[in-house]
Structure 1
Amino acid sequence: MELEARVAALEARLAALEAAERESPDRPRLAEGDFWALNGFKAQLADAGAGDGGVLFTGAVRLPTGEWYEWQHGALAAPLFADGPDGDWSDAAESLAALGHPVRLRLLREILGGRRTAAELTELEGLGTTGQIYHHLRQLTGAGWLHTTSRGRYEVPGTRVVPLLVALTAARP
């Protein structure tokens, strides 16, 4: 009984330390009003004569596993609204739908965090049966959010890490 109380006390202290770390004013933050990326992109659009504007997303991310990813992508606005392949937004439906399930989002988070094998993923609580987990993994793989590196081992492709985090950031209120 004494051991259980000590473990509970340690867990409470750890939770308090983690909460303090998240709220620490010393933690680096991006300036709210600093539009350096936007201003640079607008200058490039002006130089290219793209009066209708465009969109840009970019990121540099170190995963909990230590892997580092850098990515940027820009698109002109006019083709996104025009008739033709770039203006057909329906081709994004499968990719977006794959992200539209809480279990799939949890699987992606766990895989980015280092749990890469199907065996590790099926051990997690709250994700459903093994068959359901494999169904979700197939959906994510089919939509390009995952690929298999060997039998039963999954990874988020490097070119999808920052776009995934951008989509998650954009979806938050």
Structure 2
Amino acid sequence: MTTIEERVAALEARVAALEGRAPEPGGEVEESGKLVYGGHARFGGYRWSWEMARPPGWLVEQPAGPMAAVLAAAGHPARLRILQLLVRGPRPAAELQTELSPASQGQLYHHLKTLSSAGLVEQPERGVYRVPPSAIFPVLAMIAAATDVVHPR
């Protein structure tokens, strides 16, 4: 059975929501809603369509370690540039090397290994790299989110 204090707090939260204002601190708030991202894109002869919806409460409860590994892998300027190039379609390592000069071949492979370990890049054939199809829109969403932080509307 709920106490009178719990019932009053719930009512205050509902009234605040109806009035379009935040409830007073200490009042219980039901977490609801969803974060949605997705879209359609055509890159390098490929067509992509994606829509993902996640509840905010679920997102903030996910273990930080695996997500931090993905963000750390993408967070290096050279690796982010590699993702920008590969999101358009597969590319040979030699082509990536040309785009990333003056990075050494060893540096390129180090970055590719880091991105591969995080699940952001795969090697479908010898010497060719790509963003896995399941990661195309998550990578674009990361780039979009970072852009929105740098250039808020």
Q: Assess same fold via TM > 0.5.
A: yes
Which has the larger displacement, 119-128 or 136-145? 119-128
Question: Radius of gyration: which is bigger?
Answer: 2
Report the identity percentage: 34
Quote the residue 1:92 is aligned against.
67
Gaps of 5+ in 1: 1-49
Indicate the SS of the match to 2:78. helix
Q: CA deviation at 1:73?
A: 1.1
Q: CA deviation at 1:51?
A: 5.3
- Of 56, 80, 85, the match for 2:36: 56
Quote the residue 2:146 is aligned against.
171
Letter of the aligned partner of 1:171 in structure 2? A
Q: CA deviation at 1:115?
A: 5.9
Gaps of 5+ in 2: 1-29
Question: TM-score, with normalisation over the residues of structure 2?
Answer: 0.70
- Of 109, 126, 151, the match for 2:101: 126
Question: TM-score, with normalisation over the residues of structure 1?
Answer: 0.62
Indicate the SS of the match to 2:58. helix
Q: Residues 115 and 78 from structure 1, CA distance in 2 versus in 1: closer, same or farther, beyond 3 angstroms?
A: closer
Letter of the aligned partner of 1:153 in structure 2? V
The 8 Å contact of residues 89 and 131 in structure 2, kept in 1 or not, is answered as no
Q: How many residues align?
A: 119
Taking the aligned partners of 1:127 and 1:137, their CA distance within structure 2 comes to 16
Q: Residues 127 and 62 from structure 1, CA distance in 2 versus in 1: closer, same or farther, beyond 3 angstroms?
A: farther
Q: CA RMSD in A?
A: 1.9
Letter of the aligned partner of 2:92 in structure 1? T
